[in-house]
């Protein structure tokens, strides 16, 4: 029997629904953890800077007449973040969102629940003036209730492991589409077969607090760059501060602590701090141990030396693979001369939704790098 979507709505999960949503993901995302470890890991992430103070919200698609049921259809998470947009020559700091953990349990799959949940999600995160309630499709019943601190987003993004599925999840059927995949270029070094690259200057290695300080200055650099954007349409970027970029390495702490020599270095910077890279290391088998650069800034003349430092750190921690997302074209070509290969990634596809009136085709995502992934 076809599902009557108007009988369902999107609700902020209760504490017991949050636990249930996490329990459901153990088999697919637990990566060998026990249920207790899996839940404890999620609970510790709730205390991260990027999650605290209402930034992280778990949503459930549930019957309107029983919103607190533990038999909700599916769930997802949103992280409220700070972004920059440049439109009509004006730069603005705005709330925006990153979306994670979209999950329907196997017994509920292929009934359209995730699609409907994601269609409704726009209506709880998009700025109320950009997506006014009067446009809400009547066929979906009453709009979801407003949750404090939401309905203020100017754009949102997710990193899809299910291809272009989220493009079919628009806020208004037929006229406003969903999230659009943008920027899947991935540059990869096989560490063992990569050449050693000498240094000509003294680089500074950065620990957890060192990279956090770096990202404060980096946010200014990002702002200056967005301000200069020459895209004829709007441009936007996420900012790495407030725990956004640090999430990349902190979320893997439980696994990293199990290594004989847990890494403590999360970035490297040139003496004048004009060139730098930050990263995370994923040690979870069966994939080869991978260092993924979260943020990189370098001119062509120093890029090779910076790559040399990243490979040096990778070797120290028995990393097999180094990966950078969406290098600028000039650096991508240089990376090719330094032993890297670039391909279009088929997982974690960055996909964004712009809530302004412009089409996504006219909008530029600046600094579409790993740091904003979640």
Ligand X SMILES: CC(C)(COP(=O)(O)OP(=O)(O)OC[C@H]1O[C@@H](n2cnc3c(N)ncnc32)[C@H](O)[C@@H]1OP(=O)(O)O)[C@@H](O)C(=O)NCCC(=O)NCCS
Where on the chain is the footprint of ligand X (CB under 6 A)?
Answer: 28, 74, 102-104, 109-115, 160-163, 165
DSSP-derived secondary structure letter, 351: E
Q: What is the 3-state secondary structure (H, E, C) of 277-345?
A: EEEEEECCCCCCCEEEEEEEECCHHHHHHHHHHHHHHHHHCCCCEEEEECCCHHHHHHHHHCCCEEEEC
Which residue, 74 or 314, is less far from ligand X as judged by CB? 74
Minimal distance, residue 231 CB to ligand X, in Å: 27
The whole-angstrom separation of Cα 268 and Cα 369 is 17
Minimal distance, residue 237 CB to ligand X, in Å: 22
Closest C-alpha to 98, from 158, 186, 33:
158
Which residue, 104 or 265, is less far from ligand X as judged by CB? 104
Q: Phi/psi of residue 123, each to 5°?
A: -80, -10
Q: Which two tokens stand for residue 302?
A: 């120093």
Which residue, 59 or 103, is less far from ligand X as judged by CB? 103
Do residues 342 and 212 touch, judged by C-beta distance below 8 A? no
Minimal distance, residue 98 CB to ligand X, in Å: 12
Phi-psi region at 151: left, alpha or beta (left = phi > 0; alpha = psi -120 to 50): left
Kindly give, in sequence order, each residue whose CB lies less than 8 Å from that of residue 93, ignoring residues fewer than 6 positions away: 82, 83, 84
Do residues 165 and 318 touch, judged by C-beta distance below 8 A? no
Minimal distance, residue 370 CB to ligand X, in Å: 16
Minimal distance, residue 5 CB to ligand X, in Å: 11
Minimal distance, residue 316 CB to ligand X, in Å: 32
Minimal distance, residue 163 CB to ligand X, in Å: 4
Which residue, 25 or 82, is less far from ligand X as judged by CB? 25
Minimal distance, residue 69 CB to ligand X, in Å: 17
Q: Phi/psi of residue 310, each to 5°?
A: -65, -45
Which residue, 159 or 203, is less far from ligand X as judged by CB? 159
Which residue, 158 or 319, is less far from ligand X as judged by CB? 158
Which residue, 52 or 164, is less far from ligand X as judged by CB? 164
Which residue, 117 or 311, is less far from ligand X as judged by CB? 117
The whole-angstrom separation of Cα 100 and Cα 79 is 8
The whole-angstrom separation of Cα 213 and Cα 206 is 9
Do residues 280 and 294 touch, judged by C-beta distance below 8 A? yes
Kindly give, in sequence order, each residue whose CB lies less than 8 Å from that of residue 230, ignoring residues fewer than 6 positions away: none
């Amino acid at each position: 029997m076809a599902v009557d979507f108007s009988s369902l709505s999107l609700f902020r999960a209760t504490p017991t629904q949050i636990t249930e949503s996490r329990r459901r993901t153990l088999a697919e995302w637990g990566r060998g953890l026990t249920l207790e470890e899996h839940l404890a890991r999620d609970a510790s992430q709730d205390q991260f800077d990027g999650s605290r103070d209402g930034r992280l919200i778990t949503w459930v698609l549930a019957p309107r007449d029983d919103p607190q049921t533990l038999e909700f259809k599916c769930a997802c998470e949103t992280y409220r973040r700070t972004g920059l947009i440049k439109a009509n020559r004006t730069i603005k700091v705005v709330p925006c969102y990153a979306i994670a953990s979209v999950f329907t349990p196997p017994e509920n799959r292929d009934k359209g629940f995730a699609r409907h949940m994601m269609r409704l999600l726009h209506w709880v995160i998009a700025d109320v003036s950009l997506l006014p309630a009067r446009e809400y499709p009547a066929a979906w019943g009453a709009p979801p209730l407003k949750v404090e601190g939401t309905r203020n987003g100017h754009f949102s993004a997710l990193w899809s492991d299910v291809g272009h599925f989220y493009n079919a999840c628009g806020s208004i059927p037929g006229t406003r589409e969903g999230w659009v995949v943008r920027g899947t270029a991935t540059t990869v070094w096989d560490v063992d077969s990569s050449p050693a690259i000498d240094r000509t200057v003294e680089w500074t290695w950065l620990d957890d607090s060192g990279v956090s300080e770096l990202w404060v200055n980096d946010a200014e650099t990002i702002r200056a760059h967005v301000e200069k954007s020459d895209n004829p349409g709007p441009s936007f970027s996420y900012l790495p501060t407030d725990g956004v970029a640090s999430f990349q390495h902190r979320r893997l702490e439980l696994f990293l602590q199990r290594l004989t020599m847990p890494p403590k270095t999360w970035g490297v910077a040139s003496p004048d701090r004009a060139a730098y890279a930050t990263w995370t290391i994923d040690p979870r088998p069966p994939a080869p141990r991978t260092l993924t650069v979260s943020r990189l800034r370098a001119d062509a003349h120093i890029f090779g030396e910076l790559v040399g430092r990243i490979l040096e750190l990778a070797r120290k921690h028995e990393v097999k693979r180094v990966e950078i997302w969406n290098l600028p074209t000039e650096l991508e070509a240089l990376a090719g001369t330094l032993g890297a290969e670039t391909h279009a990634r088929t997982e974690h596809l960055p996909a964004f939704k712009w809530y302004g009136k412009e089409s996504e085709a006219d909008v530029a995502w600046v600094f579409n790098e790993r740091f904003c992934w979640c």
